[in-house]
Amino acid sequence: MTLTDLSHCQGEVTLPGSKSIANRALLIAALCAEPVVLHNVLRSDDTARMLEALTALGVSINEQDATTLVVHGCGGHWRNTTQRLMLGNAGTAMRPLVAVLAATLEPHQRIVLDGDARMRERPIKDLVESLRAQQAPIDYLGDPGYPPLGIAGGLQPGDFVIDGSVSSQYISALLMALPLLPADSTLTLSGEVVSRPYIDLTLAMLRDFGIDIITVTDHQFRIPGQQAYRSPQNYFVEGDASGASYWMAAAALGGGPITIHGVGQSSIQGDIAFAEVVEAMGADVSWGTNQVTVRGRGALQGIDFDGNQIPDAAMTIAPLALFARGTTIIRNVANWRVKETDRLAAMATELRKTGASVKEGKDYLVIDPPQIWQHAHIDTYDDHRIAMCFALAGFSTAGVTINDPGCCAKTYPQFFSEFSRLCNLPPVA
């Protein structure tokens, strides 16, 4: 797909459901003993992998319509456990299932969790070793520290410790699993905690499903055992706040206004803080309870931003930096390297194709905009966020060609058709 010399982007857009919330909600609903009706469920590659896994485990899931699912949970007693579950590259399925299955399987039951080639390159050692320290029988079936994994029951309550600097998904996985153990546990986070808003999101969801987690300090939780997930009967999946970042950025570049429905002042997602980024770079933002409107106000200004707490949305700063005056620095995003691809290396490589000057460090990018724009053919690395980020380079006179825009199916299958609509382009075939 080629995008060139875009000048305007305005209108209204409704976000698909959040991938992070949807996959948590699907697994949590499966752990309830009573049915849960999930509304606004994202239908994407990642949620498809979770749905396939839960169905294979014996959970009955009925589709009322495309985004409304009724999950008939099994209260943590899986009906079918002799199998290999293939999870593609869905980290939001792999990580929580590792912990939850270790907490819920019987000792004689065993499941293999596997994924595609990229999943087999995504480290999971910190989570596995934290579980193994409490007697979880988990085996590496390939390279040590990586999937595929063989998991059986036997996880014991106790004092869990995990490095908080690698992935908040590991922490969320433990928070979801430990309440199901037969006695109380503690969870201590060592190091600097990355993506804390995602941990807060998990805690909020657990409260909605009747689970009590006691926050002792910023780095420690007390988790009563023998808890049971309780159905709220209906649960609404918020729009994807990470996805909102592309529309906020498009409004800043294309003038807007763009009104984004599905997130707002009441959002439980940390990535909504990207609104502060576009304000700092040169846009106006106004809020509603469940919507946000962004307007550009002219030239953008480079910023120095610590992206540790919103690493997914922080990626969208990079294409904005191509249009900003001065240098932009994105700091403290080492965990970009363990996502769908090594995002630090990939973003640096693709940004340079536009003519930008880019310095890649261990956990940062320094970006100076192109002095002379070059038409860039962007490789996406089968990473949805790279494809969506670089759509914004279409606002340059040189333009951009996105190779494999279809990879957006992971979280936002309609992204390019919506982008074309808001920019008044011909419909995407």
167 annotated among ligand-binding-site residues: yes
Exposure of 253 by Cβ count < 10 A (0-12 exposed, 13-18 middle, 19+ buried)?
buried
pLDDT tens figures, 194-231: 889 999 999 999 999 999 999 999 999 999 999 999 99
**Residues with catalytic function:** 312
169 annotated among ligand-binding-site residues: yes
pLDDT, average across residues 132-137: 98
Give dist(CA 409, CA 204) in Å, integer.
Answer: 27
pLDDT tens figures, 166-177: 899 999 999 999
Q: Which pLDDT band, with edges at 50, 70 and 90, does 340 fall under?
A: confident
- 169 phi, psi to nearest 5 deg: -65, -30
Structure tokens at 16: 């698909």
- 46 phi, psi to nearest 5 deg: -65, -45
Residues of the chain with CATH 3.65.10.10: 2-15+239-422, 19-221
* pLDDT for the residue numbered 138: 98
pLDDT, average across residues 68-94: 93
165 annotated among ligand-binding-site residues: no
Residue with tokens 């998990």: 202
Cis peptide before 257 (omega within 30 of 0): yes
pLDDT, average across residues 319-342: 94
pLDDT tens figures, 290-312: 999 999 999 999 999 999 999 99
The domain 2-15+239-422: what is its CATH number?
Answer: 3.65.10.10
353 annotated among ligand-binding-site residues: no
* pLDDT for the residue numbered 247: 98
410 annotated among ligand-binding-site residues: yes
Pairing state of beta strands 400-402 and 376-378? parallel
Give dist(CA 55, CA 50) in Å, integer.
Answer: 9
Pairing state of beta strands 83-86 and 110-114? parallel
396 annotated among ligand-binding-site residues: no
Average pLDDT value over all residues in the chain:
95
How far, CA to CA in Å, does 385 sit from each of 3, 171, 231, 365?
A: 17, 23, 33, 16
pLDDT, average across residues 383-394: 97
* pLDDT for the residue numbered 194: 85
How far, CA to CA in Å, does 99 sit from each of 124, 129, 189, 252?
A: 11, 11, 16, 41
- 54 phi, psi to nearest 5 deg: -65, -40
The domain 19-221: what is its CATH number?
Answer: 3.65.10.10
Q: Which of 184-188, 243-247, 322-326, 409-413 has the lowest mean pLDDT?
A: 409-413
Give dist(CA 354, CA 309) in Å, integer.
Answer: 28
pLDDT, average across residues 275-286: 98
* pLDDT for the residue numbered 82: 72
* pLDDT for the residue numbered 428: 66
- 237 phi, psi to nearest 5 deg: -85, 115
pLDDT, average across residues 112-124: 95
* pLDDT for the residue numbered 381: 95
Pairing state of beta strands 220-223 and 234-236? unpaired
What percentage of the chain exceeds 90 in pLDDT?
A: 91
pLDDT tens figures, 43-78: 989 999 999 999 999 999 999 999 999 999 999 999
